[in-house]
């Protein structure tokens, strides 16, 4: 008798497919807010531009309370000096850096002073939920080497804008707009009055849960492309392409970012044959061990460093 029972057929209402298509329509009145224009390459920079160093580095940070902390940093190693020859010239140097940090939900103050007389200061103040003021300054004993800059950032519902002003009659402005849930487009302009130079640039960024693609072009001759593929939650692969159509300089690189349970490993190799690796190992709570390596066989330049970070 079971074989005589006719098969049951399921009919899908015609309205169901229409409802699904309606749900997939983009609501252009509720697009996400993009990242700042100056950070459009941040995922690629994290993988391809690790903060490599040469020699020894020791960083110690002591928190006095929840908002205020002091830092001490010691570095010893060779420093490259400009030379007319193709060979790299290095001289042994050592530095001590003292820092003070004040971090509040709406205010951040960071100061650094070095034994060679340099003073660095950084301020970030969130006046409202949408408006932020930033200030950066560096004071040195060398003439015409000190500089300062103010940034005024505004975060809209689906856009970001920024205005910059700095010493040397430097003015700049940028705007970045979300045009779809995954695509953002924008541009920037600047004027350097001291050098009588101006420029304009355009950029686009496409981002999903698995990848980030960015393109940027400027009237100064720069063309920058980057792509980051998130293989998993712990592994990312990145590549970039830099071209200057005025000087005809071309550089391409590929790299990786691997996050393990106790360490993070980043590395890259570029079209000039330069290989870089950077390892951060967590030995204990508040104690990190750092290894840095950069090998350039073409220039016969080899940089190796190790360090400890406490706090």
What is the tens place of the pLDDT at every residue in 228-280? 999 999 999 999 999 999 999 999 999 999 999 899 999 999 999 999 999 99
Q: Is the pLDDT of residue 22 over 50?
A: no
Contact 130, 115 (CB under 8 A): no
pLDDT for position 1? 42
pLDDT for position 141? 87
pLDDT for position 36? 93
pLDDT for position 270? 94
- Give the count of beta carbons closer than 10 Å to the beta carbon of residue 64: 10
**How far from chain centre, in Å, is Cα 69?**
24
Closest CA relative to residue 282, chosen from 305, 311, 303, 304: 311
Please give the torsion angle defined by the CA atoms of residues 176, 179, 185 and 188, in that order, rounded to the nearest 10 degrees.
Answer: -40
Q: Please, which pLDDT band fits residue 24 given cuts at 50, 70 and 90? A: low
CA separation for the pair 240, 44 (Å, rounded): 7
pLDDT for position 88? 73
pLDDT for position 144? 81
pLDDT for position 300? 84
What is the tens place of the pLDDT at every residue in 139-194? 998 888 899 999 999 999 999 999 999 998 899 999 999 999 999 999 999 999 88
Min mean pLDDT across 12-26, 147-161, 283-297 is at: 12-26
* Partners of residue 218 on adjacent β-strands: 201
Q: Considering all CA atoms of the chain, what is the largest pairwise distance in Å, rounded to the nearest integer?
A: 100
Mean pLDDT of 40-50: 93
pLDDT for position 20? 47
**Rounded to 5 degrees, what are φ and ψ at 87?**
-75, 150
- Which residue, chain included where needed, has tokens 């301020």? 123
Strands 263-270 and 197-207 come out as: unpaired
Q: What is the mean pLDDT of the chain?
A: 90
Q: Please, which pLDDT band fits residue 297 given cuts at 50, 70 and 90? A: confident
pLDDT for position 2? 45
Mean pLDDT of 130-136: 96
Statement: the pTM of the whole predicted model exceeds 0.95: no
Q: Look at phi and psi of residue 250 and say left if phi exceeds 0, alpha if psi is from -120 to 50, else beta.
A: beta
Q: Is the pLDDT of residue 138 over 60?
A: yes
Percent of the chain with pLDDT over 90: 75
Mean pLDDT of 187-205: 93
Percent of the chain with pLDDT over 70: 91
Q: Please, which pLDDT band fits residue 19 given cuts at 50, 70 and 90? A: very low
CA separation for the pair 159, 165 (Å, rounded): 21
Q: Please, which pLDDT band fits residue 90 given cuts at 50, 70 and 90? A: confident
């Amino acid at each position: 008798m079971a074989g005589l029972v006719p098969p049951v057929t399921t009919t899908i209402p015609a309205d169901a497919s229409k409802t699904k298509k309606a749900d997939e329509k983009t609501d252009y009145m509720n697009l996400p807010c993009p990242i700042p224009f100056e950070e459009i390459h941040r995922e690629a920079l994290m993988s391809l531009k690790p903060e490599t160093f040469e020699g020894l580095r020791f960083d110690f940070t002591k928190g006095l309370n929840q908002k205020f902390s002091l830092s001490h940093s010691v570095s010893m190693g060779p420093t490259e000096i400009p030379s007319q020859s193709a060979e790299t010239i290095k001289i042994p140097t050592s530095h001590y850096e003292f820092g003070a940090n004040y971090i509040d939900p709406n205010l951040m103050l960071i100061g650094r002073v070095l034994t060679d007389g340099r003073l660095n200061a950084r301020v970030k103040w969130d006046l409202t939920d949408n408006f932020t003021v930033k200030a950066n300054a560096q004071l040195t004993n060398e003439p015409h080497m000190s500089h300062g800059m103010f940034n005024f950032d505004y975060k809209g519902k689906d856009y970001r804008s920024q205005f910059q002003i700095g010493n040397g009659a430097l003015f700049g402005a940028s705007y970045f707009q979300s045009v779809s849930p995954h695509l953002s487009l924008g541009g920037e302009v600047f004027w350097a009055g001291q050098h009588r130079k101006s420029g304009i640039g355009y950029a686009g960024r496409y981002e999903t849960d698995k990848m980030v693609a960015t393109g940027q072009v400027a009237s100064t001759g720069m063309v920058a492309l980057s792509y980051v593929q998130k293989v998993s939650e712990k592994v990312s692969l990145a590549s970039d392409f830099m071209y200057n159509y005025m000087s005809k300089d071309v550089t391409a690189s590929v790299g990786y970012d691997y996050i393990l349970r106790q360490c993070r490993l980043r590395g890259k190799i570029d079209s000039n044959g330069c290989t870089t690796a950077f390892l951060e190992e967590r030995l204990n709570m508040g104690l990190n061990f750092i290894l840095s390596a950069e090998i350039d066989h073409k220039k016969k330049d080899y940089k190796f460093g190790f360090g400890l970070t406490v706090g």
